[in-house]
Amino acid sequence: MFSIVAVVLLINAINLMDGLDGLAGGVSFLILFWIVIAGLLAGEMTYTPSAMILMGCLFGFLVFNMRNPWRRKASVFLGDAGSLCLGLMIAWYSIHMSDINLRAIEPMSVAWVLALPIWDECAQFYRRVREGRHPFSPDRGHFHHHFIEAGFEAKQATALILLMTFAYGAFGVLGEMAGLPIFVLTLLWIAGILGHIRFSANLENYPNLIRKLKAVTRSST
């Protein structure tokens, strides 16, 4: 039952990330990247090759979906069917690669690879219920909306969120490889999600913080 609920929530988390050009596809690409890295480091060659093929497909998609100096807007899109399918495939690889009989990657390391989509989904559910609304009711309170509200362009917001996704994945996978105790990874992950939920309870918190960090960065340069 727990696995079913977790898979459904992860599928929905990837779908909810699909709010900016290249975001859901880019986040999915980086999630698969760290799962593949963990598989290669563990010498796992049952599921890793197909995950690499999926990464290649996503890369080709992102060429036409992610904004860049040569592409002002996306020309192809995932849609709900695409993002939901990606969420299901990521859940499948996460379960099989962390299975106790294979254990190419620790489940807690997988949680770090998936951290940002999961944290954001839980934060939105908490805030909406706290406001007396349905947890699935739409609004502009997702993590990527905070960057837009703070004055970043869509491509800048996407790049920053992808950088954070990469960093979380690196911490989980490389932290495990470096011998960081699982209980430390667990406690930090719990602190991260609770902090994100608490900070996201007010829609002005993140935009204000991002504006301040943006001003500090500009003044230092």
Q: Are 164 and 116 in contact (CB under 8 A)?
A: yes
Q: Is the pLDDT of residue 11 over 70?
A: yes
Percent of the chain with pLDDT over 90: 74
Partners of residue 68 on adjacent β-strands: 71
pTM: 0.94
Q: How many domains does the chain have?
A: 1
Question: What is the C-alpha to C-alpha distance for residues 48 and 40, in angstroms, rounded to an integer?
Answer: 7
Q: Is the pLDDT of residue 217 over 80?
A: no
CA dist 98 → 2, 182, 200, 218 (Å): 15, 14, 30, 42
Q: How much is the pLDDT for 221?
A: 60
Question: What is the C-alpha to C-alpha distance for residues 95 and 25, in angstroms, rounded to an integer?
Answer: 20
Question: What is the C-alpha to C-alpha distance for residues 2 and 204, in angstroms, rounded to an integer?
Answer: 33
Q: Is the pLDDT of residue 167 over 70?
A: yes
CB atoms within 10 A of CB 160: 14
The parent domain of residue 146 ranges over 2-220
